[in-house]
Homo-oligomer: A and B are copies of this chain.
Amino acid sequence: MDIRNKIRDVGDFPKPGIMFRDITPLLACPETFRETIKLLADHYRGQEINAIAAAEARGFIFAAPLALELDVAFVPVRKPGKLPFDTQSFHYELEYGTDTLEIHTDAFSKGDKVLMVDDLLATGGTMNACIKLIEQSGAEVVSCAFLIELGFLNGREILAPHDCFALVTYDD
């Protein structure tokens, strides 16, 4: 698939032993970027979805065009101190320390069907925090869409029973 050919492997980033999957060549190729959005949209078209949400920053790159393509709201999930209106937060554990994500309290209505989007599914920690944050507000996360899934990190298991969909999977 051309999408996989536009993802560049960069070794030892962000630390030794880690192979980073670099999406900047894909973003530099409008045909492939457009195909990526189309394939994600085709997978979800016809499903009941009211909004697409994504955590900053790379998630925004795919979520914004996908929201336009599916004709639904785009909701940014942000780090603390970025959203100006009344917010609700979710605190979660990282490998070292903790982090917090926020949404506006009026971002969702009870019963909204939300598609979460990110570029990469690794261990699923950030996406799991997004799901919990959004479901606190009474909305439902119907699926999580990714460009890339690192299958060997078993992020899907963390996110279960939520549905996951990825365009490109790496098995090692």
Contacts and interface: CB of A to CB of B under 8 A. Distances in A.
Interface of A: 8, 10, 13-14, 20, 22, 24, 27-30, 33-34, 37, 51, 56-58, 60-62, 64-65, 67-68, 71-76, 78, 81-85, 104, 107
A56 B85 CA distance: 20
A73 B27 contact: yes
Given A64-B64, A64-B65, A85-B10, A74 B28 contact: yes
Protomer copies: 2
Given A10-B85, A27-B67, A60-B61, 9 more contacts: A14-B84, A24-B83, A27-B74, A27-B75, A28-B75, A28-B107, A56-B56, A57-B57, A57-B76
